[in-house]
Amino acid sequence: MRTQTEIPIQYHPQERLTKRQRTRYYAHQVTESLRSRVFKLICTIFLSLLFFVGVILFVLWLSLRPHRPRFYVREFSIPGLNQDNGFQTSDMYFNVTIRNPNQNVGIYFDTMEGSVYYSDQRIGVTPLPFPFYQPPKNTVSVDGVLGGASLTVSDENLRLIMADRAMGVVVFRLDLTSKIRFKVATWQGRHHKMHTSCNVEVGPDGQILPTSKNKRCSIYFY
């Protein structure tokens, strides 16, 4: 006669525990849950603080990040250009405005030199009256004069200049080289060498043409 195999009764693990053991088990579960919640809370607070600090630093960086100064040629003239033999003895005059666009950053201009080029050959150079400090959101005017006797124009360039004059336009290049420092509150940065290049078109009368007046110059740091 076949005997029926008895299937053991399955008990839930907690049903096998004593009352004391179940109390310990639940206490452990509660403790682990509290630890997990505290850890998550600490992580949330830390990440929130990190986010707000990052936003504040980003805003400060945007407001204090130095922007390059802006240069514009307002005047450029060679009165002797309208005379056949007057160019070599005539003075060159130029006026450049410098704009500091920064809201909270000042600029120290420690040195500056102006040079005039024709066909990539320098024909005159002059030091400019510096140093000076330019406050934020400020515009200054810089004047320069190159004496005719100090101009070094080769016979070939003089011939080309006279040919351009006959065509109605003579193109020169005004370069300004300087050393500058940025200033934020009481902090001053290191020196930066700056090169400003301005192409200037001059008419037969030696005066700057409207196409070049108030034209923004290119700026390079090196």
For 94-114, what is each residue's pLDDT tens digit?
Answer: 999 999 999 888 999 999 999
Tokens 């409207």 locate to: 210
Q: Please check whether residue 105 is in contact with residue 182, taking contact to mean a CB–CB distance below 8 angstroms.
A: yes
pLDDT of the residue at 9: 47
Please check the confidence at residue 58 and state whether its pLDDT lies above 60.
no
**Confidence band, pLDDT 50/70/90 cuts, at residue 219:** very high
pLDDT of the residue at 22: 62
Please check the confidence at residue 20 and state whether its pLDDT lies above 80.
no
Which of 114, 106, 97 shows the shortest CA–CA distance to 132? 106
Please check the confidence at residue 5 and state whether its pLDDT lies above 70.
no
**Confidence band, pLDDT 50/70/90 cuts, at residue 77:** very high
Mean per-residue pLDDT of the chain: 82
- β-strand partners of 179: 111, 193
Q: What is the pLDDT of residues 119-167, one digit of tens each?
A: 989 999 999 877 889 999 999 999 999 887 778 888 888 899 999 999 9
Which of 70, 67, 65, 66 shows the shortest CA–CA distance to 176? 70
pLDDT of the residue at 222: 81
Q: Please check whether residue 87 is in contact with residue 153, taking contact to mean a CB–CB distance below 8 angstroms.
A: yes
What is the 8-class DSSP label of residue 169? -
Please check the confidence at residue 36 and state whether its pLDDT lies above 80.
no
Q: What is the pLDDT of residues 154-210, one digit of tens each?
A: 888 889 999 999 999 999 999 999 999 988 877 677 888 999 999 999 999 999 999
Q: How many residues does the chain have?
A: 222
Which of 102, 111, 128, 112 shows the shortest CA–CA distance to 183? 102
Please check the confidence at residue 2 and state whether its pLDDT lies above 90.
no
pLDDT of the residue at 53: 75
Please check the confidence at residue 45 and state whether its pLDDT lies above 90.
no
Q: Please check whether residue 109 is in contact with residue 88, taking contact to mean a CB–CB distance below 8 angstroms.
A: no
CA distance 66 to 50: 25
Residues 6 or more apart in contact with residue 203 via CB below 8 angstroms? 168, 169, 170, 209
Share of the chain above pLDDT 90, in %: 43
